Chains A and B, each alone.
Chain A
Amino acid sequence: MNEIRQSVNPSADSLLIGGVNLLSRLFVGTGKFSAHEIVPRVLAASGSQVVTMALRRVDWKNPQENILNFLPKDTILLPNTSGARTAEEAVRIARLAQAAGCGNWVKIEVVKDQHYLLPDNWETLQATEQLVKEGFVVLPYMSPDLGAAKRLQEAGAAAIMPLGAPIGSNRGLQTKELLRILIEEISLPIIVDAGLGRPSEAAEAMEMGAAAVLVNTAIATAGDPVVMAQAFRLAVAAGRLGYLAGPGERRTTAEASSPLTGFLQEG
């Protein structure tokens, strides 16, 4: 097969998004940490280059320090539009984030359903169309529907971020089959976001061919977030190498009889 197949070169494997060649395929979220102070150590352990954060009103009663103060200088900031329930609100948040001087990447997160926190694909598409026009590098968080993903691709999204399971559920790849279809059919990077609870699940997503994963809750709420961040880093790298190497074969059992093709031997 070597005549045709190109050989694998893991050291040259990078993920190109928004003009940036990312070496780390683990994106990390900064929500739910017990304290912002732990974030720098978590990020160092995770090796992540892309980090998400949320835009919120300053709370005068409980002032919190800006999360940006805790991120390494060259981190790529991926502000999300969490809190938005409509495309309009998402667009507004994106513009605000950009005005803060965060760069032009944005993760669109539009959730109307407060029970499961499932994203609204329709509003997400509207927001994507608008923000792409305004020059943003748009990474939409969405419910894995092929039709919606195709439209997002057509609208100019830089990647697609389908959920593995509802936010915070830590249930792993509940949407595995749908993710597989997206990975098959959509040529944009597929970044599995939400629901990954264990390093093995992140590895599984990478083995399936996901371009990257975004992990927040599983790291932030682990007993030791720094060690968990390291575990996810290793898992993502392992899964990616496994994918590049090509899955191993399963020995088929020898066929003693040939009920379906035996006729070819006769006369």
Chain B
Amino acid sequence: MFYERIKEWQPKLSAAAWASVSSADVERVLARETLQPLDLVVLLSPAAQAYLEALAKKAQALTVRNFGRTMGLFTPLYLANYCSNQCVYCSFHAGNEIARCKLTIEQVIQEGKAISSTGLQHLLLLTGESRLQSGPAYLEECVRALRPMFASLGLEVYPLATEEYRRLYEVGIDSVTLFQETYDEITYAEVHPAGPKRNYHYRLEAPERACEAGISAVNIGALLGLSDWRRDAFFSALHADYLQRAYPGVEVALSVPRLRPYAGSFNPTAAPVTDAFLVQIILAYRLFLPRAGLTLSTRENPQMRENLLPLGITRMSAGALTSVGGYSETNNVGSAQFEIADQRSVPEVVRMIRAKGYLPAFCDWVNMREKDAVGL
């Protein structure tokens, strides 16, 4: 289990260890083709900050070589925002007074049509954690309703059991996104004071369960800024590497969400993730895992997204909304999970991508699984 790796590395990643990395170490890693976890430590160290441009050049070259100059596009659809957790950093916190709602299947279809009309083919489905309001059966209904309209569907909800992942895979989910938020157990307990999400291990092992269940792709990462970002970035990448080795047939990707303003009053004690640090993380991920996907959400503002695009990103959201529904005119807009910093529409994002010399890829996966088998 991946937890063994965390236990193995946790004691090694002291402040002294990060500080002991020298420029010579960074240059050594820059010259290397295949990187080991120790090299990842070097890339995330303070010493590497002075080498961002050199790292960026290499990261860009690697990304272009492995992915071409393309940018995958997707958007999130929040199906419901009922939540039993009390994550201190999130708007959906059970104690927050926000407008709670859940889309009916008719509404789901309307949303799907609206999104589909923009040309987007990959849709990510999200809910808060509420098995009562948005349990696996509800998710399955939504997937069935949306499957005819999209080439591929992804799921970003609460951790599920292997059988539940298997069922959803059969019905039409190709990818599972699940962020550990933080790999640090102490911080994890602090920021998740109540609710099922308190179970650190169940969440940590969820991506493996999804892989066991036969899912085609997993997307993981930490919520940068919740805890010490160097450690969280290290473990995120190590986790991705672990999953890739254990499940060579699964496409593994990393996301780099940074804490954003939301309807709450949580102030993290960890050092903020500056733009320069975010760049360092992206470059470290790319160099350590040349063939992993790197996903950028609309938490970042337009300028930032444009600047990050050539540094190793392979997928980004476009025209996203984090409120429940909201894509079609007729649906109630439940409160948003976080503020969207990049509010550009799909055509605007597409223009931006083209202007940077990249090809927007609306579709790079088509679910061909037998529809008859699941009554579709």
A and B touch in the complex (CB under 8 A): yes
Partner-B contacts on A (CB < 8 A): 1-5, 180, 184-185, 246-252, 255, 258-264
Q: Which chain A residues border B20 with CB–CB below 8 Å?
A: 1-4
B189 near A: Cβ within 8 Å? no
Residue pair B56, A1 in contact (C-beta under 8 Å): no
Interface segment, B26-34, B92-100, B330-338, B368-376?
A: B26-34
Bound complex: CA A228 to CA B111 (Å): 74
Name the contact of A260 in the complex, choosing from B12, B38, B276, B311 (C-beta under 8 A): B311
18 additional A-B pairs beyond A1-B25, A260-B311, A261-B52, beta carbons within 8 Å, are A1-B21, A1-B22, A1-B42, A2-B20, A3-B20, A4-B41, A180-B33, A249-B27, A249-B30, A249-B31, A252-B27, A252-B54, A258-B52, A258-B53, A259-B53, A260-B60, A261-B53, A263-B307
**Minimum C-beta distance from A136 to chain B (A):** 28
Distance, CA A161 to CA B36, complexed state (A): 23
Contact B279 A261 (CB under 8 A): yes
Contacting residues of chain B (1-55) with chain A, CB-CB under 8 angstroms: 12, 14, 16-17, 20-22, 24-25, 27-28, 30-34, 38, 41-42, 51-54
Determine chain A's interface SS by DSSP, over half rule: loop
The answer to whether B27 and A250 touch across the interface, beta carbons within 8 angstroms, is yes
> Is the C-beta of B57 less than 8 angstroms from some C-beta in chain A?
yes
The 7 residue pairs across chains A and B that have the minimum distance between CB atoms: A260-B56, A249-B28, A3-B17, A249-B27, A258-B53, A250-B31, A263-B307
**A contact residues around B28 at 8 Å (CB):** 246-249
- CB 8 Å contact bits of B296-339 with A (1 = contact, 0 = none): 00000001000100110000000000000000000000000000
Tell me how far the C-beta of A186 lies from the nearest C-beta in chain B, rounded to whole angstroms. 11
> Considering the chains assembled together, what is the distance between the CA atoms of A1 and B25 in angstroms?
8
Shortest beta-carbon distance from B179 to chain A in Å: 25
Which residues of the other chain, A, contact B14 by a CB distance below 8 angstroms? 3
How many residues of B are in contact with the other chain, CB < 8 A? Answer: 34
| CB atoms of A249 and B24 under 8 A apart | yes
Would you give the shortest CB distance from B321 to chain A, in whole angstroms? 27
Whether A260 lies near B41 (C-beta < 8 A) is no
Most buried by B among A184, A250, A251, A252: A252
Please indicate the chain B residues that have their CB under 8 angstroms from the CB of A260 in the complex.
53, 56-57, 60, 310-311
Which residues of B lie under 8 Å from residue A2 when comparing CB positions?
20
Smallest Cβ-Cβ distance to B22: which chain A residue: A1
Whether A264 pairs with B27 at a CB distance below 8 angstroms is: no
Q: What are 16 of the A-B contact pairs (CB < 8 Å)?
A: A1-B20, A1-B22, A1-B38, A3-B12, A4-B12, A4-B17, A180-B34, A248-B28, A249-B28, A251-B27, A252-B54, A260-B53, A260-B57, A261-B279, A264-B52, A264-B275
Residues of A within 8 A of B16 (CB): 3
Contact: A264 with B38, CB < 8 Å?
no
User: Looking across the interface, which residue of chain A has its beta carbon closest to that of B278?
Assistant: A264
Residues in chain A near residue B54, CB distance under 8 A: 252, 255
CA distance A261 to B48 in the complex (A): 13
